[in-house]
Amino acid sequence: MNVQPNDTIAVWFSCGAASAVAAKLTLDKYKDICTVRVINNPVREEHKDNKRFLKDIQEWLGVSIESAINPEFFRYSAEEVWKKRKFMSGPLGAPCTIELKKRARQLWEKRVSAQWHVLGFTSEEETRYKRFIKTERDNVLPVLIDAGLNKQDCLDYLLKEGIDPPLVYKLGYPNANCIGCVKATSPTYWNHVRRTDPEVFKARADLSRELGAKLVRVKNERIFLDELDPNAKGRPMKQLNFECGTFCEEWDE
């Protein structure tokens, strides 16, 4: 891709390890010839340690990380979106991502003309990246794919730099999304939430009942969270790969 001097590059930082390293590589390569802006879409339901991580990454990068929000949801709460839309998730994604990520990004883009975008696509997500540039936009720089870095490489990169990754990774979650991500349908994931964050599990179970949303799938059947056997298992946690921002897809066992 032919990046030109004085182009603007928007790096979308999700408080995850991959997007943090993507921001670092982008700045290292382009900061002297382009304007590189790093932007975050805050979501209230993310782990509180994500704010610490954002500050650490901001200091590491040496730039200010901007916030982009949808003013319709100025509290940037996923739960508020679910209640207002009366819908939590489906095969094509979740309204929280649409409103708090995609719509917020679109509104930011109306104010800022960016020639290029960087998202945290890692080397094992090259198929996703190709689908994204085909269906969403073709001006995305695959900096992590070009560098041959996978998700574990990105975590290792941060550790070598002396940066503690978000606490959610240490808690066993596969990414730094919201805890209790409604795109997940795996019983493994939801029982992990039940063990590590029981208050979140209960909140999701109560609201999903209220809205009629069967969030978990067991033996190809959708059930309510409060019907889930605490011992039910599906795919191992490390193999789950639902994302919030680049793709908003349902990911089951």
Per-residue confidence (pLDDT) for residue 244, from 0 to 100: 64
pLDDT digits (tens, 9 = 90+) for 1-22: 799 999 999 999 999 999 999 9
Residue 72: the pLDDT is 97
216 CB burial (10 A radius; 0-12, 13-18, 19+) = buried
Which whole-number Å values give the CA distances from 230 to 16, 75, 213, in the listed order?
Answer: 28, 33, 19
Below-70 pLDDT ranges, the chain: 238-253
- Give tens-digit pLDDT for 200-215: 999 999 999 999 999 9
Residue 137's pLDDT is 87
CATH superfamily of 8-239: HUPs (3.40.50.620)
Per-residue pLDDT at 184: 92
Q: What is the pLDDT of residue 250?
A: 43
Q: How many CB atoms lie within 10 A of CB 122?
A: 25
pLDDT of residue 133: 92
Query: What is the model's pTM?
Result: 0.90
Q: Could you state, in order of their start, the residue ranges of all structural domains in the chain? A: 8-239
- What's the confidence (pLDDT) of residue 245? 56
pLDDT in tens, 130-144: 998 998 889 999 999
* DSSP states along the chain: ----TT-EEEEE--SSHHHHHHHHHHHHHHTTTSEEEEEE---TTS-THHHHHHHHHHHHHTSPEEE---GGGTT--HHHHHHHHT---BTTB-HHHIIIIIHHHHHHHHHS--SEEE----GGGHHHHHHHHHHT-S-B--HHHHHT--HHHHHHHHHHTT-PPPHHHHTT-SSSS-TT-TTB--HHHHHHHHHH-HHHHHHHHHHHHHHT---EEETTEEE-GGG--TT---S-GGG----SSS----B--
What is the pLDDT, as a whole number, of residue 247? Answer: 47
- For 16, the token pair is 């995850």
Please give the pLDDT value at position 24: 98
Q: What pLDDT, on the 0 to 100 scale, is given for residue 243? A: 58
